[in-house]
Amino acid sequence: MNKKLMALAVAGAFGAPAVAMAQVEIYGRANLGFDTYSATGASAGSANDLRARNRVFDNSSRLGVRGTENLGGGLRAVYVIESGVNIDTGSQNSQFGGANASTGVLASRDSYVGLEDKWGRVTFGRQSIYWVNGVIAQSGSNYINVDVATTGALGRVVGPTTRTSNVVAYTSPTINGLNGTFSYAPNSEAATAGNNTNAKIWGVTGRYSGRVNAQVDYAVNRSGGDAGTAQKLSGLKLGVGYPYAPGAQIALVYIAEKNANLAAAVTNFAAQGDSVKANAVIVNWEHTFGNIQALAEVGKVQKAKGCTEGATTTCANTGATGYMVAGRYLFSKRTAAYASYNKISNKDNGTWDLSGGGQSSASTSGGFLPSQLAGADPRIIAVGVIHNF
């Protein structure tokens, strides 16, 4: 059934005027499969390893409603309410058994309402800041289960933010292939009496599509408190993709993240108050041959810097290298089957992980392994089916 006809049928079932529902679209994605996950070689000894286990997985399946209303004079209302669903379990739990904040409730994924015109778009709601790579690297976000570009952190050094609540965003119109978004979240509404209310998250994204594709992201997540001592997480991403043929692109993504004035010590890494930083480079390739799409990716995280070097804190051996190879068979524009192999090789104190969409079986979903798993090498071998509707 056509999506808009489906919406009209829902409207009729509830007695709503058909005209009022004419611009409603129901959409979503189901992305499930079977995989084997392990994270072995932990520096603390094999007793800390995550031994190989078979899993039926769900990655970033979602159900959403979106639409527009023409308000006259070129002005439109826009809205999206998108919710993550775990079709494998029917619960909010991710692969590691804990809750995934992007699933289980209405509006758990990007959801907003706003107005747009020739001057651009203003939206309010839960929205991504810094998190996605757009068309530069889509393997883990749109094509398969996970890749090394969707980990969310550079091992020990975490990113500023991902999908963020309570955001107001302005997106400019696209002119000659160029547009941008400025996002701001006043991250203090839950502050209790007497606490500072100057916490905030903000980000800027610039995009260009033409002979090359390019995207730059910069974001800052500042905790409440005195300006000189409050923890501040910041990140910069620069991505450039060269679409050398239809359905084919090679892209380079550079990432630099900094965690300044750490609010708490990190085991075997940094002391409270340290300002640590790390850089990474990721190369992504995709090429479509008829009904076959080939994907590959390699990423390298450099050793972190800025740690207090002591008996229990060090930046030594915190680097990592990640690999992904995958193939998809395109049954149609909406349905594909895929096979993928992902592996990250961590140095003895490295904690980079494969956690995009909650794919890790470790006890964290932030893009890094727990400290007792430092040095372990996460690996996922998967087959799956993805359907967009």
Would you say residue 16 has pLDDT above 80? Answer: no
Q: How many distinct helices (H) and strands (E) make up the chain?
A: 1, 19
Taken in order 117, 118, 124, 127, the sign of the CA dihedral is positive
Nearest to 330 by CA among 289, 301, 375: 289
Using pLDDT thresholds of 50, 70 and 90, give the confidence band for residue 21.
very low
- Higher-pLDDT residue of 204 and 357 is 204
Would you say residue 291 has pLDDT above 90? Answer: yes
Would you say residue 357 has pLDDT above 90? Answer: no
Q: What pLDDT is recorded for position 2? A: 56
The whole-number average pLDDT for the span 58-64 is 96
Query: Do the Cβ atoms of 197 and 224 come closer than 8 Å?
Result: yes
CA distance 238 to 251: 11
The 10 Å Cβ neighbour count of residue 61 is 20
The whole-number average pLDDT for the span 55-64 is 96
Would you say residue 17 has pLDDT above 60? Answer: no
Q: What pLDDT is recorded for position 279? A: 97
Q: Determine which of 63-77, 119-133, 243-257, 358-372 has the lowest per-residue pLDDT on average.
A: 358-372
Query: Do the Cβ atoms of 43 and 316 come closer than 8 Å?
Result: no
The 10 Å Cβ neighbour count of residue 121 is 18
pTM of the model: 0.91
CA distance 234 to 388: 33
Alpha helices in the chain (DSSP H): 3-13
C-alpha distances (whole Å) from 68 to each of 11, 22, 114 are 16, 9, 10
For residue 35, give every residue at least 6 positions away whose Cβ sits within 8 Å of its Cβ, in sequence order, or none.
54, 55, 57, 145, 380, 381, 382, 383, 384
- Summarize pLDDT for 320-332 with one digit per residue, the tens: 999 999 999 999 9
**Rounded mean pLDDT of the chain?**
92
- Summarize pLDDT for 149-187 with one digit per residue, the tens: 887 789 999 999 999 999 999 999 999 999 999 999 999
Would you say residue 19 has pLDDT above 50? Answer: no
